[in-house]
Structure 1
Amino acid sequence: MTSKNTLIIGTRGSALALAQADMVRAALSALHPGLDIRREIIRTTGDRRTDVPLADVARVSGIVDKGIFIKELETALLEGRIDVAVHSLKDVPSELAPEFRLPAVLPRAAAEDVLITKEPDWNGRGTLATGSVRRRLMARTYWGRQLRFEDLRGNVPTRLEKLVEHPEWDAVILAKAGLERLGLYAPETVVQGRKLYMRPLPVEAFIPAVGQGIVGMECRVSDRKTKELLAGINDAETCVCGVAERTFLVRLGASCSTPVGVHACLEGDALVLRAAYYVPGREEPFAVVVRGDRNAPEALGILAFEKLGLN
């Protein structure tokens, strides 16, 4: 910690990132009302480089690691300018540098992707805008090869506005969690005078990104006091699901931009994990569904990888 009673939270500056940082601050304040919690906004490489497709940001920016949305936050942690970095867990590489830990996650929000269209009965014909390779490939599997794609970058409100501003676009896909956290999710809504329609996509068929809907907190491994504070707000059930998903990603050797969907959920005493992984030259993904002990999430992630059938 910065001092005995002061904790500095680092966050990106988008409306969604700020909302998530405020969620962390509220959770900590409820447990530690005397704690002085401050917020530091940090702009990351992923925020600056909106001029290229998301999958190309690391390459054109000269970043050798995978964390285009966390690199500058981790630098601030190492320099002692912040005590906690708040992330959307889906932006965090599956393996952290040894200097860092993820000691806590908040309760998971909805993990689904949401299809947002200009017409209520859109059937997958026309143009879908998304910067996610995973969403493009899953959309093609879900709706068919006739679908056309355009790149889409920007924060959540910007993406909705771009859908309206481009008459040739028919739909976009966004995470339901982000829409809900900003108060923007509704079956029908109006953006810049244009009615839009939203419907969640089933996780069984349109599997979300690893960690989607989860807010994670990162700190220095040497900062024992901060780790203890964060452990007090950790949601155990969400943590189990996140560990299983991220273990699968580690075994796959994948990054945040790899076209893979992974989703774990608790069903009674069991932990169920679904995954779909796309490889070049193959239209259909390698897919797997496994069930195991909720107390052994790493083992389930490894089992899912082994049953994926890549060999």
Structure 2
Amino acid sequence: MKRVIKVGTRKSLLALKQTEMAVDALKSRFPEFEFETVGISTRGDRNLEKPLGEIGDKGLFVSEIERLIKIGEIDFAVHSGKDLPLELYEGLEISGVLSRDDRRDVLVTKKGRGFENLKTIGTGSKRRALQCSKLVENCDFKLIRGNINTRLEKLYRGEYDGIILAAAGLDRLKLYKDSRFDFRPFTEEEMIPAACQGIIVIEALKNSDVSELIKAVQCEKTRKEFDCERYILKLLGGDCSASIGASAKFNEGIISCSVMYGDKRSYFETDEKSFKATAEKYIRDMI
């Protein structure tokens, strides 16, 4: 009989799709195991009336799932990288990350509406609102919460003229094919993405046999970017209430970083060994 490994995830269609991607990667390497998905409702999913910064930090989406890993009810969990708090539950680790998908943000409007003269744009992110306000004049930003499909339906019903979503989520759920909408990706020069946006993260007990399995499917290039962006977040004290963006690109030993902190922006390049010292210097100048 195959050993059954239990995988924890939030219940949204996007979270389930991301879990499927992680499980497929593991199945291809370890066909001797069976994987069972366990859907979990988190505090962040249940409270949709307020901005995240008013009801807690990023742990809103993961703390209950982490507790289930710790007590052994699930073996590992799959998260969106940008949802992870800086401090993990004691005894847990990021065992692996999958290859990064599109890290950009996307402005979505109803088909034929265009991207000019938008009066209301829906977003729950201060980072997105601050950067978009410099690109779209005379626009009000209204809170929008809920999963990606719910947000699109609110847009279609006319509650907003536009909404801002992560490109990776649209890609994974094949929502670019939805003919009711037009999609306009922002360049990174226009909008620096959230740290670890587009990265699927797998979390398990430290030094466990399951954690060792997960390490076999890790994308090392993405892991370097993930660790760099998390370090920048740490330097800035990042949480859900802050207007922070961070994007690190690793190429042949060189790390190129774009950072936003409120109205301030910074860009730097460095080699891998000098990354922390260089990041500290540039971040010190920003804060």
TM-score by structure 1 length? 0.86
Match of 1:261 among 220, 223, 245: 245
1:82 — aligned with what? 74
2:274 and 2:11 mapped to 1: Cα distance? 36
Identical residues among aligned pairs (%): 35
Deviations, residues 91-149 of structure 1 (Å, cap 9, x unaligned): 001222332110210000000000101345323541111111111111112334x2111
Match of 2:260 among 276, 281, 290: 276
CA 288–164 in structure 1, closer or farther in 2 if over 3 Å, else same: same
Does 1:41 pair with 2:59? no
Match of 1:200 among 185, 203, 206: 185
Q: CA deviation at 1:41?
A: 0.8
The residue correspondences of 1:71-110 to structure 2 (distance < 5 A) are 71-110=63-102
Match of 1:215 among 200, 208, 214: 200
Structure 1 stretches of 4+ moved >3 Å: 294-304
Deviations, residues 224-278 of structure 1 (Å, cap 9, x unaligned): 2112101101100000001110001111112144211111112443110100111
Q: CA deviation at 1:299?
A: 4.5
The residue correspondences of 1:85-234 to structure 2 (distance < 5 A) are 85-118=77-110, 119=112, 121-123=114-116, 125-144=118-137, 146-166=138-158, 169-186=160-177, 189-190=178-179, 195-221=180-206, 223-234=207-218
Deviations, residues 269-297 of structure 1 (Å, cap 9, x unaligned): 3110100111xxxxxx1111011114665
How many positions carry a matched residue from both structures? 286
1:282 — aligned with what? none
* Structure 1 counterpart SS, 2:59: coil
Letter aligned with residue 265 of structure 1: K
Is the 1:273–1:304 Cα contact (8 Å) retained in structure 2?
no
2:47 and 2:37 mapped to 1: Cα distance? 23
2:210 and 2:275 mapped to 1: Cα distance? 25
Q: Which deviates further from its counterpart, 249-258 or 155-164?
A: 249-258
1:204 and 1:133 mapped to 2: Cα distance? 17
CA 99–36 in structure 1, closer or farther in 2 if over 3 Å, else same: same
TM-score by structure 2 length? 0.93
Does 1:292 pair with 2:274? no
CA 253–36 in structure 1, closer or farther in 2 if over 3 Å, else same: same
Does 1:50 pair with 2:43? no
Q: CA deviation at 1:301?
A: 4.0
Q: Which deviates further from its counterpart, 91-100 or 236-245?
A: 91-100
2:184 and 2:93 mapped to 1: Cα distance? 36
Letter aligned with residue 166 of structure 2: A
1:62 — aligned with what? none
Q: CA deviation at 1:303?
A: 4.2
2:58 and 2:203 mapped to 1: Cα distance? 16
1:235 — aligned with what? 219
Is the 1:95–1:250 Cα contact (8 Å) retained in structure 2?
no
* Structure 2 counterpart SS, 1:204: coil
Q: CA deviation at 1:196?
A: 1.7
Q: CA deviation at 1:304?
A: 3.9
After superposition, the CA RMSD in angstroms is 1.9
1:301 and 1:233 mapped to 2: Cα distance? 28
* Structure 1 counterpart SS, 2:144: coil
Residue ranges of structure 2 left out of the alignment (5+ in a row): none
Match of 1:252 among 227, 236, 239: 236
* Structure 2 counterpart SS, 1:136: helix
2:286 — aligned with what? 309
* Structure 2 counterpart SS, 1:243: helix
Q: CA deviation at 1:57?
A: 2.4
Deviations, residues 180-218 of structure 1 (Å, cap 9, x unaligned): 0001025xx43xxxx321011001220011110000011
